[in-house]
């Protein structure tokens, strides 16, 4: 079951979106009202999906989107290319069985294939250890600003003071630019 499908967003069918949505509603219960029907993303739509399936449907999922984030007071020319990662989840009945580790490796593989300098994500204190276990580095003291998820208030810019993690992919960690992160839009 640890075989992952890597699919570009434009190749997903309506049924694929329904299947992913059902699983995300289970894995993110506090966002369940946002994941309904074919609404398989709650912030920025990913460009690539990483999924594993079993007889009960989607078993594990992550979304990735390449984009430029502003760091510090950088000019447009110095904005940082990242592979933004989000909606990382293992179906609740399978959590703690090792599938999350395989998912983290599959995410890393996609970021390698994209040859992005860094992966970037935000997570809660309770899941930061999962990412750190798989090579992600916390950015203590960094503030990240982004537009809220669809079920919150997407026009409002949210400031997140904790939980930012970066994964060195094609660039070393020391090349990560200093300063706060501005997404200038929603996160995956
Ligand atoms: C976070 C999540 C994807 C981890 O998946 P999982 O299947 O439970 O993880 P695994 O059993 O494969 O564990 C993989 C490794 O990560 C570690 N790990 C898993 N969850 C962890 C956590 N919350 N904190 C610290 N380490 C964790 C495990 O100990 C294991 O380490 P090991 O390889 O040394 O044994 C899963 O718990 C989940 O979907 N949670 C709900 C959705 C969510 O919060 N996603 C993150 C949002 S950004």
Better-scored residue on pLDDT, 150 or 117: 117
42 lines ligand 1 (CB under 6 A): no
The confidence score (pLDDT) of residue 2 equals: 75
Ligand 1 atom closest to 96 (CA): 11
Q: What pLDDT band is residue 76 in, cutting at 50, 70 and 90?
A: very high
2 lines ligand 1 (CB under 6 A): no
Ligand 1 atom closest to 121 (CA): 48
Ligand 1: distance of its center to the CA of 77 in Å?
Answer: 36
Range of the domain at 16: 5-186
The confidence score (pLDDT) of residue 1 equals: 59
DSSP string, the chain: ----EEEEGGG--HHHHHHHHHHHHHH-GGGTTTS-TT---SSSPPSEEEEEEETTEEEEEEEEEEEEEEETT--GGGPEEEEEEEEEEE-GGGTTSSHHHHHHHHHHHHHHHHT-SEEEEE--HHHHHHHHHTT-EE-TT--EEEEPPTTS-TTSEEEE-S-EEEEESSS-GGGSPPS-EEEEEE--
Structurally, the chain folds into a number of domains equal to: 1
Ligand 1 atom closest to 97 (CA): 11
130 lines ligand 1 (CB under 6 A): yes
**CATH number of the domain encompassing residue 51:** 3.40.630.30
Q: Specify the pTM.
A: 0.97
């Amino acid at each position: 079951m640890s075989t992952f499908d890597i699919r570009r967003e434009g190749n997903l069918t309506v049924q694929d979106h329904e299947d992913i949505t059902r699983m995300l509603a289970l894995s993110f219960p506090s966002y369940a009202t946002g994941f309904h029907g074919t609404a398989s993303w709650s912030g920025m739509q990913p460009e690539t999906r990483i999924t594993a399936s079993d007889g009960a449907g989607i078993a594990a999922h992550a979304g990735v989107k390449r984009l430029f984030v502003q760091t510090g007071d950088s000019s447009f020319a110095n904005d940082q290319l990242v592979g933004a990662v989000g909606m990382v989840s293992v179906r609740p009945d399978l959590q703690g069985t090792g599938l999350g580790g395989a998912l983290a490796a599959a995410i890393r593989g996609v970021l390698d294939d994209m040859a992005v300098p860094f992966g970037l994500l935000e997570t809660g204190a309770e899941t930061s250890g999962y990412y750190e276990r798989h090579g992600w580095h916390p950015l203590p003291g960094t503030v990240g600003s982004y537009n809220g998820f669809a079920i919150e208030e997407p026009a409002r810019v949210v400031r997140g003071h904790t939980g930012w993690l970066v994964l060195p992919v094609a660039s070393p960690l020391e090349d990560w630019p200093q300063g706060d992160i501005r997404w200038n839009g929603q996160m995956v």
